[in-house]
Structure 1
């Protein structure tokens, strides 16, 4: 089995090592050390990670993430590179591929596209196909706050109706699966996606908060 999630993880770690701890990312308020700390907590500290979904624990999560981010940066990146601990189901290759592919793809682009003179990577068709499948599974969640209907057209993959119209008509999003994933996860400003539809509908979509939050 080709482990795309593992490949994205390792490329992200290479970028984190190359750039150092204080470079910007597309994650608001986070530099590279903050992102590395987030990933370590996500896989290795479920007692803290639940703060992302339980508001009363959010303060504890943020305090620990900041403390961890101020520690040894090289060691932090090394922990991300090692992957999830053996007790975590995400350490299993199939679970890793299912739960971490989009996570590490998006965060790799969060780092790359926050730097000057970036260009989209030329991704293998197999990886584009995996991203398309993942996007179809999550699209209803990602676009739930959009007032428009959403039709996704993935280059080389076909089309997918992600959301029925609400207050507005439908907007068609065209692009490679990779770029559509970035748009769906709220990276609108850097996602190279074409939007087709009524101008008011497109404006409403552009203003909508997309992604998990």
Structure 2
């Protein structure tokens, strides 16, 4: 999945060009390409991703965008990490990049002025996204301090698959396809096609937390 999402995202960046908007506020496709490259191949900038208050990543992204053309930068992303990057290890690539590239692929697909719906994904990709969403939901939603259930949608229909990702009173159910649930958990609330149901106070708590990444 990580490899296919990387390939398709790079193809889309090339098609849309450096100035294409994304769902990441203030970022174009050029910013996105710079982010993806330094995340994998620039250890110092990676520290900045974890500790954004240092402003290291922003500076190194700006330097990279100034020194390198957009097309060359996209080509670097397509080739994958360089040097001794741990992302070159297949298992690390799969674990760390599947969700990352999927979300950024959707950032670019849905960043324009016109509505863009979800892609039709292979079953194995859908399963990876479901497992990833379930695995990260408890941590991402911990500040809500309410019960939260993820309700899976398959082929446009609500299935009987659920995951209890947080326990507590006033439970809230978040319903959507796995990819949409993941986008929501990554803070793309405006674009993710999910439905939240439950008591008003529970909904208010969930909607009050910041999920932005």
Q: TM-score under structure 1 normalisation?
A: 0.89
CA distance in 1, matches of 2:148, 2:4: 30
1:96 to 68, 93, 98: 93
CA distance in 2, matches of 1:142, 1:111: 23
- Spell out, residue by residue over 1:3-23, the C-alpha distance to the aligned partner (whole angstroms, 9 max, x if none): x11001111101111111111
Ranges in structure 1 where 5+ consecutive residues have no aligned partner:
none
Cα deviation for residue 55 of structure 1 reads 5.0
2:121 to 123, 126, 134: 123
Cα deviation for residue 183 of structure 1 reads 0.7
Q: Which residue of structure 2 aligns with residue 160 of structure 1? A: 163
Cα deviation for residue 159 of structure 1 reads 1.3
What does residue range 117-196 of structure 1 map to in structure 2 within 5 Å? 117-156=115-154, 158-165=161-168, 169-196=170-197
What does residue range 71-86 of structure 1 map to in structure 2 within 5 Å? 71-85=68-82
Secondary structure at the residue paired with 1:192? coil
Secondary structure at the residue paired with 1:173? strand
Q: Does 1:48 align with 2:45?
A: yes
Greater mean alpha carbon deviation, residues 66-75 or residues 6-15: 66-75
Size of the alignment, in residue pairs?
206
1:69 to 61, 65, 73: 65
Alpha-carbon RMSD: 1.8
User: Which of structure 1's runs of 4+ aligned residues deviate more than 3 A?
Assistant: none
- Spell out, residue by residue over 1:124-146, the C-alpha distance to the aligned partner (whole angstroms, 9 max, x if none): 11101011111222112221232
